[in-house]
Amino acid sequence: MKFLVNNQRAILAAYWKADNDSLFEVLIQEVVFLVLLKTKIILQGANDMSSIIMLDQELKVIDLSN
C-alpha cells in the first residue's frame, strides 16, 4: 500500500503487508504520518512498516511495492 502526504516541502511514503491491513491500523498509520510530517522525523522498521522515507521535494510519488 502507498501513502502520500504533501505540504509543499515533505513527502512521506510507506508500505506494509496488505494481508495485515485493517481499518484501525490504516487510521493509526495515517496519524503517525501526519505527526512525522509535522515534526520532520524519519523512522525505519517500525512495526509492520518496512520503511518511512521523507524527502525535501515539491511533489514526488514513491512506490515501494514489490
Q: Over the stretch 7-58, which tens digit does the pLDDT of each residue have?
A: 333 344 444 444 455 555 666 666 667 666 655 544 444 444 444 444 443 3
- Does some domain include residue 19? yes
Residue 66 placed within a domain: no
Whether residue 38 lies inside any domain: the answer is yes
Q: Which of 1, 27, 35, 26 is nearest to 15 (CA)?
A: 1
| Overall domain count for the chain | 1
Spatial CA neighbour of 66 closest among 8, 2, 12: 2
pLDDT for residue 66 is more than 60:
no
- Please give the pLDDT value at position 57: 38
Q: Is residue 42 part of a domain?
A: yes
pLDDT of residue 37: 62
Residue-range definition of the domain harbouring residue 11: 5-56
**Predicted pLDDT of residue 28:** 66
Instruction: Examine residue 63 and state whether it is found in any structural domain, yes or no.
Output: no
pLDDT of residue 65: 55
Whole-prediction pTM value?
A: 0.26
